[in-house]
Chains A and B, each alone.
Chain A
Amino acid sequence: MAELNTRNGQVVGSALATRVQTGIRIAGRGGQGVMLAGLLVAQAAIDDGLEVVQTQSYGPEARLGAAKSDVILSHEPIAYPEIGAPDLFLCLSHDAFTAYGHDIAPNTRLIMDARAARGLDVGEAVLVPMVDTARDCGAIIAANIVGLGFLVGMTDVVSERSLRRALAARARPESLESNMRALDAGLALAAERRL
């Protein structure tokens, strides 16, 4: 976790003031692969030797409208399982921002689909054309993977290698190729912008 040794603004941060842990929220419309994206980050983090807690929205909440998957990554055992204000917020849809944007703290880094951000006050969000890029990769449904690629490319929260391995293990065989293309595209977008 080279760049983002951020501490969580509120609860967890103060509770674990001496620890290094990162809270990631991935949110989007139901069907955008938010759960899968969360599982991929979590799985990759485990391969990198980190401790992980993953939670997600359930029930009607997860089927209609917006859905979220929260992942905490840490070098040490994770006590409190909720992320509070996320350090990283990957947002794929307009509705998801409305539903889950309220947890954002000043130090939350928001990465948002460029189209979905239209008409929203998203502050200093990093806008990324996730859906458009996924469409160019031949799988509009892989916007989540473009976003993940960008997030990892920009922050190194998990290693690219572990993420690829997690994707290879979890993606359906028939969609693996387009997913890998989407991942590469996301990483490339990050490389362009990397500070």
Chain B
Amino acid sequence: MQQLIQGNEACALGAVAAGCSFFAGYPITPSSEIMEWMSRLLPPRGGVFIQMEDELSSMGAVIGASWTGAKAMTATSGPGFTLMQEHIGYAAMTETPCVIVDGQRVGPSTGMPTSPAQGDVMQARWGSHGDRAAIALTASSVLDTYTMTIEAFNMSERYRLPVVLLLDATLAHMRENVILPDIPIVNRSRPGSIDDFAPFGSPEFLPLGAGARFTVSGLSHDEAGHQRAAKSDAGERLTRRAIERVAADAERITLTRQEALDDAELVLVAYGITARAARAAVHQLRAEGIPAGLLELQTLWPFPAELVGSVARNARAVVVAELNLGQVVTLVSAVAGTTPVHHLGRMDGALLEPDAIAAAGRTALHDAVQEVGAAR
């Protein structure tokens, strides 16, 4: 059935479909509707909803709930996402499955609360101190928001990681007609036996209160959970293992949409809401006879460096369009070889428009052709 629903509503519906039974959050534009929906959806299903006193506590409660075995999430925006970083790091250190939705708005600081941005890409990866495994996803439509919320849960359960879903203020609030699909759900796998089970470093998860008593700690620890807080490779070993778990499955994790890339001389790279304008720009350029293509990144972390690199190196020019002053472009540039990579960004609260992206693409391709001509 076709339904007219908002991005934030789709996120909440996706969470419930994914089996989320615990939500803790603190109101913030543009994500508050997610918690409003969860406050209505969870109680009749026996799930827990709680409005906490801030984002630190929201994330703490989410992690606590996850350690009882619950699928747990929170939703926030820039200022709250920043406050959550200490606990996102804790979740990574303790291999805690959970989902954090960040409806991005213009920053830094309070910025523009109701205006879209894509400035939290690096924070989603490096916001917490130290190194860690990370997964961050994006969505570019209301339907996408539903499916990527479920993906976020599935990945967090499969890899025992905090997974970040990056939305933006426009997507959060816009409505589209959607038919919600059935999507397979991943459930946390439990060890067959608790005897000799090491609670850390394993994809299997043993909740608190299941008969094996151990300590969950943000201190570096070994597989059994014993602190190894000084001069020990235990912490590094477990972090590496988590990173490798993700790397080994990178193909399954790094989702992309590729459009008209086969013969593309000009490649547009975009994600989230901006991918829509980039798609319109591709249509426009193709109509003019310019061989343009789109690479939409649905997974930003782990960054699909190999794919982006090969697509970029096969092109004559690349334009990265994003609502910030240059984040994903640094990653694309690093793998593009000799192909020139241009950046089109803004953070004034407006979306990048198809015309602007098309114009940047035209110029980029033109310059690249000229340069080759000059070199000859």
Q: Do chains A and B touch in the complex (CB under 8 A)?
A: yes
Q: Which residues of A contact B (CB under 8 A)?
A: 10-12, 14-18, 39, 42-43, 46, 51-56, 58-59, 61, 78-82, 84
Specify the chain A residue showing the minimal Cβ separation from B353.
A11
Seed contacts A58-B114, A79-B283, A80-B280; 4 additional CB < 8 Å A-B pairs: A39-B4, A46-B2, A81-B170, A82-B353
Contact in complex: A79, B176 (CB < 8 Å): no
Please report the C-alpha to C-alpha distance between residue A59 and residue B28 in the assembled complex, in whole angstroms.
11
B284 interface contact, C-beta 8 A: yes
Give the interface SS of chain A, mostly helix, strand, loop or mixed: mixed
Specify the chain B residue showing the minimal Cβ separation from A51.
B177
Give the interface SS of chain B, mostly helix, strand, loop or mixed: helix
Contact in complex: A79, B280 (CB < 8 Å): yes
CB distance from A72 to the nearest CB of B (A): 10
Contact in complex: B279, A81 (CB < 8 Å): no
Contact in complex: A54, B4 (CB < 8 Å): yes
CB distance from A151 to the nearest CB of B (A): 18
Contact in complex: A14, B355 (CB < 8 Å): yes
Contact in complex: B176, A80 (CB < 8 Å): no
Contact in complex: A12, B176 (CB < 8 Å): no
- B29 partner residues in chain A, CB cutoff 8 A: 58-59
Contact in complex: B354, A53 (CB < 8 Å): no
Also in contact, A46 and B173, with CB within 8 A (given A12-B280, A54-B4) = no
B362 interface contact, C-beta 8 A: no
11 contacts between A and B (CB under 8 A): A11-B354, A14-B354, A15-B281, A15-B354, A18-B283, A51-B177, A58-B30, A59-B113, A59-B114, A80-B277, A80-B354
Contact in complex: A46, B4 (CB < 8 Å): yes
Contact in complex: A43, B284 (CB < 8 Å): no
B334 interface contact, C-beta 8 A: no
Contact in complex: B174, A53 (CB < 8 Å): yes
- B358 partner residues in chain A, CB cutoff 8 A: 15
- B283 partner residues in chain A, CB cutoff 8 A: 15-16, 18, 79
B240 interface contact, C-beta 8 A: no
- A46 partner residues in chain B, CB cutoff 8 A: 2, 4, 177
CB distance from A184 to the nearest CB of B (A): 24
- B24 partner residues in chain A, CB cutoff 8 A: none
B351 interface contact, C-beta 8 A: yes
CB distance from A68 to the nearest CB of B (A): 13
Contact in complex: B354, A12 (CB < 8 Å): yes
> Which 6 residue pairs are nearest across A and B when measured between Cβ atoms?
A15-B354, A79-B280, A15-B280, A54-B175, A46-B177, A58-B114
Contact in complex: A42, B280 (CB < 8 Å): no
B273 interface contact, C-beta 8 A: yes
Contact in complex: B170, A17 (CB < 8 Å): no
B210 interface contact, C-beta 8 A: no
Please report the C-alpha to C-alpha distance between residue A37 and residue B261 in the assembled complex, in whole angstroms.
41
CB distance from A170 to the nearest CB of B (A): 10
Name the contact of A80 in the complex, choosing from B30, B173, B353 (C-beta under 8 A): B353
Instruction: Kindly identify, within residues 137 to 184 of chain B, every residue whose CB is under 8 Å from any CB belonging to chain A.
Output: 169-170, 173-177
- A15 partner residues in chain B, CB cutoff 8 A: 277, 280-281, 283-284, 354-355, 358
Contact in complex: A17, B174 (CB < 8 Å): no
Name the contact of A58 in the complex, choosing from B173, B273, B280 (C-beta under 8 A): B173
Please report the C-alpha to C-alpha distance between residue A78 and residue B178 in the assembled complex, in whole angstroms.
12
Please report the C-alpha to C-alpha distance between residue A138 and residue B175 in the assembled complex, in whole angstroms.
31
